[in-house]
Amino acid sequence: MDTFTLLITMVSLLFVLLLLVLIYVWMGRSKKNIASEANVPETFESLCAIIHSSVSTNQALNQAADRILSRFGSIGEYPQYEALIKGICTHTNTDSKLVSRFEKSLRDANPKFKEKIQKTLKEGLAKRDKK
């Protein structure tokens, strides 16, 4: 083999190796950015936005509802929760298990709002039937 051909082959292999290492490093950085965004603390408003978003999947709705119940289960101002219950009832990707679990957990955690929660649930389900 000619020394010039051997030299060109070695340089091209070195270039390919360098390119593969750069791609590996670039892919690792993008995953770290995604992971750091996932650790952002969620607020009540951001979780409500997931529920009110028309493109949210059933899985996303269930996760958001679970986080709301675990972190913000006690009712301070009822109008926020009223809109939330109606949003869960009328969402196209919700199911009956989510609605009943959310409503039951809220009632159990907030007995003084029991009647308001039941009334809001009836209104939300009535709106769902009209859609």
Render pLDDT for 32-85 as a digit per residue (tens, 0 to 9). Answer: 444 445 555 688 889 989 999 989 999 999 999 999 999 888 888 889 999 999
Sign of CA dihedral 29, 35, 37, 40: negative
Please state, in angstroms and rounded to a whole number, the distance separating the CA atoms of residues 27 and 74: 42
| pLDDT above 90: residue 115 | yes
Residues 96-104, mean pLDDT to the nearest whole number: 92
* Residues sharing a CB contact under 8 Å with residue 102, sequence separation 6 or more, in sequence order: 65, 69, 85, 88
122 confidence band (pLDDT: 50, 70, 90): very high
131 confidence band (pLDDT: 50, 70, 90): low
Residue 80 buriedness (CB in 10 A; 0-12 / 13-18 / 19+): middle
Residue 81 buriedness (CB in 10 A; 0-12 / 13-18 / 19+): buried
Residues 95-110, mean pLDDT to the nearest whole number: 92
Question: What is this structure's pTM?
Answer: 0.66
**Contact (CB, 8 A) for 71 and 109:** no
DSSP 26: H
130 confidence band (pLDDT: 50, 70, 90): low
| pLDDT above 50: residue 90 | yes
Structure token digits, residue 5: 């051909």
